[in-house]
Amino acid sequence: MTGHIHPDDLRRIEQETDLAAVIAEHTPLAAGPNEQLRGQCPFHDDQAANLAVRARIGRWHCFGCGEGGDVITFVMRAEGTSFAASAERLAEAADIRLRYVD
């Protein structure tokens, strides 16, 4: 493993990973407005359902603390891992063989 993960492989991770399922490993989600899922953000102490998940476009955002991003960003934040380690964990779960480029 040298260099950076190939951009095409990162896109595959985003396309082939169920964002809602990954987030639901850390906090319960319920149906919300406009095809969103809503839940309590695991990154700050708040009882409100400020976390919005737009699984169709692969993005999440917390209206309470301002955190947000894609599935890799969520895993990084939730599990305290690096970008590469988070991508590798998701790739392994999706059976994606990663390529590395300089």
Contact 27, 41 (CB under 8 A): yes
Q: What is the pLDDT of residue 83?
A: 97
Q: pLDDT tens across 19-59, in order?
A: 999 999 999 999 988 889 999 999 999 889 999 999 999 99
Q: Which domains does the chain have, with CATH numbers?
A: 4-101 (3.90.580.10)
Tell me the per-residue pLDDT of 77-96, one tens digit each, with 9 for 90 and over.
Answer: 999 999 999 999 999 999 99
C-alpha 90/C-alpha 85 separation (Å) is: 9
pTM of this prediction exceeds 0.85: yes
Q: Coil, strand, or helix at residue 98?
A: coil
Distance, CA of 90 to CA of 83 (rounded, Å): 11
Q: Is 40 helix (H, G, I), strand (E, B) or coil?
A: coil
Main-chain phi, psi angles of 45, to 5 degrees: -85, 100
